[in-house]
A and B are shown apart, each in its own frame.
Chain A
Amino acid sequence: MPIVVLAVLAALVALLPAAVPWLRFVFIITIASGFAALGVAVLLRAGLISIGHALFYAVGAYAVAFLMRATGTTDLFLLLAAAVVVSGLAGLVVGAFMVRYRAIFFAMLNLAVSMVVFSLLSKLYGLTGGSDGMRVATPTLVGSALDREAFNAVFLYVVIGLFVAAGILVQLYFRSPMGEALAAVETNEVRLEYLGVSVRGVLLSAYVLSAMLAGLGGAIAGIAIGHVVPEMAYWTESGHFVLVAVLGGIAGPAGPFIGAIFLEVLRTLASGFAAETWNLVVGVALLLVIFFLPEGLYGIGAKLFRRRGAQ
């Protein structure tokens, strides 16, 4: 059954944009947030909710813009690789601090740091172009320069390929010793340490991975839009990723993509009423997730169990 759903989905993704060209852009952007959501989902595995991953989304996007401006690099794959490396490094620095915190503190500190970066991107006009953002030219594909239309046609399939690869790698990681240890962080940190496993090490590697995924998403979005702006780091963007990840967690491997489409539709509908409606929807949904979801997904017993500590 899931195989049929996946096959239908894959066929739709592959054929629809060919028939309806403007859908290409929508699909690319949707997959871009799917990447960030996949990053958030990695941390959800440990029961941690980051409401700040738009930070790495923006880091990936700005990394592309800076690299283009500073070095004139235009090669698509080089730009994407650079964005992954830079956001991974950002994840290492921010993560080293974040892995000390849990639950609401983790969620809020991620939010806080991302909003600091949002302000910096907005205020450092000379460096980042402030709220005007930075332009991103259409990259070249293995040496050949294409026009926007032709580039997007190829870019979509590159992005789909990357997303499928990332999805498979994340699934492999989840089943590996490090991935299972990540899930074990949620249920019993004391036992992990008493097995000789560094809980912070497990969390930090997950955090770096999640930052790289979010950064890749941001790079893809920046390239597709041709423009990066500070709003990419804004909290509603982070909230969006959390909601996509949560919906995705329910829907299985193709979840982040399905979740992303669902929310994209919701966002379009909401903004039809008033711009503020969307923020309200994200805000309320986030609160619900934070208060109910971790228990809902992983069991209240697991939480209580961990709190008993070493007796």
Chain B
Amino acid sequence: MTPPILKVENLRIAFGGVAAADGVELEIAAGEFMAIIGPNGAGKTTFLNLCTGYVKPATGSVLFEGRDITGLSPRAITRRGIARAFQIPQLFAGHSLLENVMLALAARHGIRQVLAPLDREAYRVEGRALLELVGLETAAGQPVSELPEGMRKLADIALALALKPRLLLMDEPTSGVSAQEKYALMGTLMQVLKTEGITALFVEHDMEIVRTYAGRVLVWDSGKVLASGAPEAVLADERVIRSVVGAV
């Protein structure tokens, strides 16, 4: 039996008396595609911040592939194989879309080069392929600051994928993406995750997306895991409907 790819024990953090994580216990098996749902302010983003070292927990621990990563920096955790896409896309505004992706590729292949150019054949090819994957190939040369929010979300996911992580955390990947494109995006994402063997966890507000794609759903409320299980069962639960579905 392989250990869970991510294991979280008794995770606690409060901001000014508001518990954003209140004794969270969680295990994610390799290969899972798990959705996190919950009302605004439930602590979903905070959970991703805790897992990636952006916020240090007051108590508890985070284990990645059986090893303790609690208290490590986002950089150290990223290097171990966890990548993240953000609720608000985090891009390099001064660079073009393709340059953004090439920077991520360079980060994976070795950033410590001072004379060879970033803009090289190998990175261009791999970068364009990644952009094609998220449907952004036609915008490759555009400055990311000029892209609409939906495209920026996709670009942010492309940066995370460029790292070839073993665990991918996405914060509302389909928010800002048009209704028609949501399904296409999720479809290709699922494909990539499967072929690359990436385990993923995504925060989502669109229940239809959750129902269609998630293998497991985790319901978050006031810093606690309210329910967890298969989408059909969880989304039919009275408490969940009151807490989440009713609220959205």
Contact = CB atoms under 8 A, between A and B. Distances in A.
Interface in A273-311: 298-299, 301-302, 305, 308, 310-311
A172 B84 CA distance: 31
Interface in B111-169: 111-119, 145, 159, 163
Contact of B163 (A173, A176, A181, A195): A195
Contacts of A311: 45, 86-88
A74 interface: no
Contact of B93 (A176, A187, A194): A187
B183 interface: no
The secondary structure that dominates the A interface is: helix
Contact of A184 (B78, B103, B119, B145): B103
B163 A177 contact: no
B107 A310 contact: no
Given A193-B75, A197-B75, A308-B88, A173 B103 contact: no
Contacts of A176: 113-118
Contact of A178 (B86, B93, B111, B119): B111
Nearest to B76: A196
B114 A299 contact: no
A310 B103 contact: no
Contact of B115 (A173, A181, A184, A301): A173
Contacts of A186: 94
Interface residues of B, number: 40
A195 B104 contact: yes
Given A176-B114, A191-B159, A197 B107 contact: yes
A87 B52 CA distance: 38
B106 interface: yes
Nearest to B79: A196
Given A175-B119, A195-B159, A187 B78 contact: no
A190 interface: yes
A149 interface: no
Find the residue from B52, B95, B104, B111 having the highest chain A CB count within 10 A: B111
A187 B94 CA distance: 7
B95 A178 contact: no
A188 interface: yes
Nearest to A304: B93
Given A194-B74, A194-B78, A311-B86, A302 B93 contact: yes
A298 B73 contact: no
Given A183-B95, A187-B92, A311-B45, A175 B118 contact: yes
Interface in A228-275: none
Nearest to A180: B118
Interface string A150-192: 0000000000000000000100110111111101101110111
B90 interface: yes
Contact of B90 (A180, A190, A301): A190
Contacts of B73: 193
A305 B75 contact: no
A192 to B, nearest CB: 8
Name the 5 nearest CB pairs between A and B, nearest first: A195-B107, A177-B106, A191-B90, A196-B78, A302-B93
19 contacts: A169-B115, A172-B117, A177-B110, A177-B112, A177-B113, A180-B102, A180-B106, A181-B103, A181-B106, A181-B111, A184-B95, A188-B93, A194-B52, A195-B159, A196-B78, A196-B163, A202-B111, A299-B93, A305-B91
Interface of A: 169, 172-173, 175-181, 183-184, 186-188, 190-198, 202, 205, 298-299, 301-302, 305, 308, 310-311
Given A190-B90, A311-B86, 5 more contacts: A188-B91, A190-B74, A195-B107, A196-B79, A205-B114
